[in-house]
């Protein structure tokens, strides 16, 4: 592959890994510059190769790549970007915060947030699903997790996160980078965005401590969290750093998955009707986390959306010593790239891989699936600690919306863009109408009460 195509594939991080896979195979070695500028890279796009990268339980494959270095410098050290040694005590401390039982406490406001979005939809109107889903997840996250109305302060969350993380990924994928001491406009904007995020999280933490009655389950859990081995608690700075990454995951990535799922159902009415029928069988009241076991097909829809549009299409690690990847020797100092999107769309692993088909994830098929061919939340010791929260949020939101509204997608394609994770690359327009009426009466679309 010519150098320019290699460089473009690395920068794209989504379909680019599929082109590299097709050009080089399931374990692909390549370079995008001299070693003193950019380390040699190995792309893993087979289940075996990805397992050998992600299942490592020591520091031999670590989060010390330029991607995570830039991320730590801009938004702080958190569970997602810490190197192995400092990550171990942080994971021990936070693991009890994200048990299934505890996470269910965070999902209590999803139905109310969905209702607030549906109240703004008029029968037959055209909405931008991406904008609506971002508003929904911001409301749910603020009310049920952080204890404040984030929607009123969206300018302090969404745009600063996008600026800071876009800067980090842009620097990481550029072979030639300006020195860190050089005050470029991009660096100034990223630092200002980071400062805004930290001021917001410091305020959230301060207000929770000042008001014991304030409902903010995640914040209070982080304040109370202790390392079970040492008894150490998180510092205020560590709590704020974790709140920032949780706001990013709970808002940005969750909204993208929900948008893609709704767009897909809007193009496949037969699957939309199955979701509607499933949720209609539940009692006539707002949905709760306890309803998830009865929403099996809705969960399949979410899983298929995550297969085709994983919010994190790739991941990187650094080989800190010689390691073996699917039978190949990878030298120390090589950047390992996990082609998550490439393996989840690989025609060698999936029949008609670009077709939206939730039945791929029927209980029988899901159980028989290779663990390492489907990994929207990663795998191994450093898999996403918030995977249950993400699935809970998207499933409840999707079920609540389809229970009340019929969605007809107006676009044949779902444009993709990348800042740090994958997002919609433009408006995702859809026509909406009440599920129980033909859509001619100008009344809000309402959920059952």
Which tokens is 365 given? Answer: 């098929």
Instruction: Decide which of 37 and 206 is more confident.
Output: 206
* 67 in a structural domain: yes
Q: What is the pLDDT of residue 107?
A: 67
Distance of CA 155 to the CA centre of its chain: 20
The answer for residues whose C-beta is within 8 angstroms of residue 146's C-beta and 6 or more apart is 204, 216, 218, 219, 243, 247
Whole-number mean pLDDT of the chain? 90
pLDDT digits (tens, 9 = 90+) for 223-244: 999 999 999 999 999 999 999 9
pLDDT digits (tens, 9 = 90+) for 267-309: 999 999 999 999 999 999 989 999 999 999 999 999 999 999 9
Instruction: Decide which of 175 and 329 is more confident.
Output: 329
Question: Using CA of residue 277, residue 282, residue 286, residue 289, what is the dihedral sign?
Answer: negative
Tell whether the model's pLDDT for residue 323 goes beyond 70: yes
pLDDT digits (tens, 9 = 90+) for 89-140: 999 999 999 888 888 877 667 777 888 888 889 999 999 999 999 988 888 8
* 448 in a structural domain: no
Q: What is the pLDDT of residue 445?
A: 54
* 442 in a structural domain: no
| pTM over cut 0.85 | yes
* 444 in a structural domain: no
Which tokens is 336 given? Answer: 């390992």
Segment among 296-300, 355-359, 393-397 with least mean pLDDT: 393-397
Strand 41-44 relative to strand 335-338: parallel, antiparallel, unpaired?
A: parallel
Q: How many structural domains are present in the chain?
A: 1
* 407 in a structural domain: yes
The answer for residues whose C-beta is within 8 angstroms of residue 128's C-beta and 6 or more apart is 427, 428, 429
Instruction: Decide which of 93 and 213 is more confident.
Output: 93
Which tokens is 38 given? Answer: 């950019």
Q: What is the pLDDT of residue 150?
A: 77
Tell whether the model's pLDDT for residue 446 goes beyond 70: no
How far, in Å, CA of 209 to CA of 223, rounded?
Answer: 9
Domain containing residue 340: 3-434
How far, in Å, CA of 42 to CA of 385, rounded?
Answer: 26
Residue 422's DSSP bridge partners are 418
- Considering only CA atoms, which of 56, 5, 59, 66 is closest in space to residue 30? 5
How far, in Å, CA of 57 to CA of 302, rounded?
Answer: 29
* 26 in a structural domain: yes
Tell whether the model's pLDDT for residue 419 goes beyond 80: no
Distance of CA 349 to the CA centre of its chain: 23
Measured at the alpha carbon of residue 235, what is the angle toward residues 208 and 220, in degrees to the nearest 5?
30
In contact, 299 and 399? CB cutoff 8 Å:
no
Q: What is the CATH number of the domain that holds 69?
A: 1.10.630.10
Q: What is the pLDDT of residue 105?
A: 75
How far, in Å, CA of 91 to CA of 80, rounded?
Answer: 10
Most trustworthy range by pLDDT among 129-138, 260-269, 411-420: 260-269
Tell whether the model's pLDDT for residue 29 goes beyond 50: yes
**Mean pLDDT, rounded, for 18-44:** 88
Tell whether the model's pLDDT for residue 344 goes beyond 60: yes
The answer for residues whose C-beta is within 8 angstroms of residue 34's C-beta and 6 or more apart is none
Tell whether the model's pLDDT for residue 448 goes beyond 70: no
Per the rule left: phi > 0, alpha: psi between -120 and 50, beta: everything else, 124 is left
Instruction: Decide which of 172 and 68 is more confident.
Output: 68
Tokens 């690395």 found at: 10
Q: What is the pLDDT of residue 438?
A: 39
* 439 in a structural domain: no
The share of the chain scoring above pLDDT 90, in percent, equals 63
Which tokens is 31 given? Answer: 């370079």
Instruction: Decide which of 286 and 51 is more confident.
Output: 51
**Mean pLDDT, rounded, for 388-408:** 94
Q: What is the pLDDT of residue 147?
A: 78
Q: What is the pLDDT of residue 65?
A: 92
Question: Using CA of residue 217, residue 223, residue 224, residue 227, what is the dihedral sign?
Answer: positive
Instruction: Decide which of 441 and 356 is more confident.
Output: 356
Distance (Å) of CA 58 to CA 85, 211, 305, 352, 380: 9, 41, 32, 37, 11
Residue 315's DSSP bridge partners are 338
In contact, 28 and 15? CB cutoff 8 Å:
no
Beta strands in 35-192 (DSSP E): 41-44, 61-62, 126-128
Segment among 223-227, 246-250, 280-284, 408-412 with least mean pLDDT: 246-250
């Amino acid at each position: 592959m010519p150098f320019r195509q290699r460089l473009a594939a690395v920068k794209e991080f989504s379909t680019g890994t599929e082109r590299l896979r097709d050009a080089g195979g399931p374990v692909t070695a390549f370079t995008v510059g001299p070693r003193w500028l950019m380390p040699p890279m190995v792309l893993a796009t087979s289940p075996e190769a990805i397992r050998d990268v992600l299942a490592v339980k020591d520091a031999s494959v670590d989060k010390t790549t330029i991607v995570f270095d830039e991320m730590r410098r801009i938004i702080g050290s958190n569970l997602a970007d810490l190197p192995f040694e400092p990550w171990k005590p942080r994971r021990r401390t936070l693991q009890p915060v994200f048990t299934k039982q505890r996470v269910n406490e965070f999902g209590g406001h999803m139905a109310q947030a969905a209702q607030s979005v549906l109240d703004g939809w008029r029968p037959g109107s055209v909405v931008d699903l991406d904008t609506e889903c971002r508003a929904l997840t911001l409301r749910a996250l603020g009310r049920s997790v952080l204890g404040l109305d984030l929607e009123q302060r969206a300018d302090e969350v969404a745009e600063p996160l996008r600026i800071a993380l876009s800067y980090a990924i842009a620097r990481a994928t550029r072979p030639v980078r300006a020195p860190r001491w050089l005050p470029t406009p991009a660096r100034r904007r990223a630092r200002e965005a980071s400062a805004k995020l930290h001021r917001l999280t410091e305020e959230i933490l301060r207000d929770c401590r000042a008001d014991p009655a304030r409902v903010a389950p995640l914040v209070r859990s982080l304040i109370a969290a202790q390392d079970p081995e040492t008894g150490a608690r998180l510092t205020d700075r560590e709590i704020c750093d974790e709140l920032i990454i949780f706001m990013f995951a709970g808002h940005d990535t969750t909204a993208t998955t929900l948008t893609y799922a709704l767009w897909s159902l809007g193009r496949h009415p037969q699957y939309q009707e199955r979701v509607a029928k499933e949720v209609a069988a539940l009692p006539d009241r707002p949905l709760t986390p306890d309803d998830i076991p009865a929403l099996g097909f809705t969960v399949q829809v979410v899983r298929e959306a995550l297969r085709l549009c994983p919010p994190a299409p790739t991941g990187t690690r650094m080989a800190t010593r010689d390691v073996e990847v699917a039978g190949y020797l990878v030298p120390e100092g090589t950047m390992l790239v996990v082609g998550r999107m490439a393996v989840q769309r690989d025609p060698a692993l999936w029949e008609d891989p670009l077709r939206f088909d939730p039945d791929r994830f029927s209980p029988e098929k899901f159980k028989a699936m290779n663990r390492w061919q489907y990994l929207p939340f990663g795998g191994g010791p450093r898999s996403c600690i918030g995977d249950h929260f993400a699935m809970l949020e998207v499933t409840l939101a999707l079920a609540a919306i389809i229970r009340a509204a019929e969605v007809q997608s107006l676009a044949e394609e779902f444009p993709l863009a990348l800042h740090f994770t994958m997002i919609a690359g433009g408006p995702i327009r859809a026509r909406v109408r009440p599920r129980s009426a033909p859509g001619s009466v100008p009344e809000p679309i309402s959920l059952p009460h």
